[in-house]
Homo-oligomer: A and B are copies of this chain.
Amino acid sequence: MTDHDVFLADCPARTTLDLIADTWSVVVVFGLGHGPRRYNDLRDRIGGISNKMLTQTLRKLERNNLVTRRALSTAPAGAEYRLTPLGESLLGPVSVLARWAEEHADELGDGGSGD
């Protein structure tokens, strides 16, 4: 099997994991999972994310080729975000994790990340 040392030392997997190891990256990717979304639309859909973090996360995802931004020349301005093919390819793996999360939510002692 190949899934043994994958995350140890300085494998590419570590770098990548670090990229999505924050509260919002994965959530935002998922928020775009159904197709393009506008800024406020996306924020609304996610719920609980601040402007700051949404923007910051989107920029980071852009820099890493997971998301693209397109300015709309509509009247009251507008911007549309969508997943790149790379971004879409992330949906699968993350769904697996999501499913695990849902199935075992009750077995986790406390949700506490608290120290």
Contacts and interface: CB of A to CB of B under 8 A. Distances in A.
A33 B4 contact: yes
Contacts of A98: 3, 6-7, 13, 17
Contacts of A16: 100-102, 104-105, 108, 111
Interface in A18-38: 18-19, 21-23, 26-27, 30-31, 33-34
Interface class of chain A by DSSP: helix
Interface residues of A, number: 62
B6 A17 contact: no
A102 B4 CA distance: 13
Contacts of A23: 17-18, 21
